[in-house]
Amino acid sequence: MGNLIPFWFIVIAVLWTGFFVLEGFDFGVGMLHSVVGRDDASRRAAINTIGPLWDGNEVWLIVAGAAMFAAFPAWYATMFSGMYLAMALLLGALIIRGVAFEYRGKRDAARWRHTWDWALTIGSVLAPLVIGIALGDLLHGLPINSAGNYTGTFWDLFQPYGVFTGVTLVLVCVLHGATFLSLKTTEDMHERSRLIARRVAPFTGAAVIGFIIWTHVIAGRGFFLNVIELVAILAVLAAVWLVWEHRDGFAFTATTITVAACIVTLFVDLYPNVMVSSTNPAYSLTVDNTASAPYSLKAMTVVVIIFLPLVLIYQAWTYYVFRRRVSVADFQPVPRPRADSSGAPPPSSVTGDGSQGSSAI
């Protein structure tokens, strides 16, 4: 059992990392679709870059929460009860975002689509912000008593470090989404995506560097940064440079590594704790005092070893199938020829050499 406890902490860290790597660019596209899209056709094109992918990517969040519940039930109980209102806000953001994807095209009315565009944007901002605040609070510390119960209020969750973590993840998602759009779109949308990436890259780089340094200080791991923290800083600096050099594929790879390194940094600096108590360090929740029974961990280990590789293979295949770029032309309305006064469509004109000429549309 002793080896399974750190194994399951690693599994949960991997699931949260996978969620932010995959859903991160989904969030970014959701925030940017109205910026890169100048009309309805281009906004539809932006949304369709993630259309076949976003719901599958969100499954990682569900699995991460389920893994916490199964492997570390005391951690799950304290975190989800103490952050109840924040979790409700997160669920609301995810629901509004999901509904916006499905309902936006149900009615051909500008106000209707504009409303759902705003819903998609707000939901895409709130979700990573709330999750970032929650993950930051785990490391910074929350008021937890000797029984492992959260004793603070909703407003105690909004600590400076937690809020900064949320803002940093929002900025990283914006850059991640912009580099993804530059890979998946063509012509004007491609250029606008590149322009947005260049504009947001310096702010994202500064936020990530500040986040890594602040995290290192809070964790109290010594003077020098660890390997993962260095990787995060180097990756975001590389992303800034690659964006300005118009190296779209490498820039997206760099933002992917940046997202992953930021999340892994939180979990590496958190271990062996899972929730730090600001009331008394002795009351902190750890992997040992929150873990499930040995049999449960063994049974879940068998399941994850069998099914996780299958899920990864299926998701990789899905990305391969939907790898082509999306063009605005695919979503332009098809013009209809206008009928003459008798109600019949106008005849096509014929040129002198018998070739088909242009119609009077």
Q: Above 90 in pLDDT, residue 174?
A: yes
**What pLDDT score was predicted for residue 355?**
38
- d(C-alpha 199, C-alpha 179), whole Å: 12
Supply the mean pLDDT for the chain. 88
Percentage of the chain exceeding pLDDT 90: 68
* Phi and psi, residue 223, nearest 5°: -80, -40
Side-chain half-sphere exposure of 96, counting CA atoms within 13 A? 21
CA angle 173, 174, 176 (to 5 degrees): 60
Residue 301, H or E segment? helix 294-321
Report CA-CA distances (Å) from 144 to 75, 193, 343.
12, 44, 76
CATH superfamily of 8-331: Formate dehydrogenase/DMSO reductase domain (1.20.1630.10)
For 201-216, the pLDDT digits (tens) are: 999 999 999 999 999 9
**What pLDDT score was predicted for residue 315?**
86
Please give the radius of gyration of the chain, using alpha carbons only, rounded to the nearest integer.
24
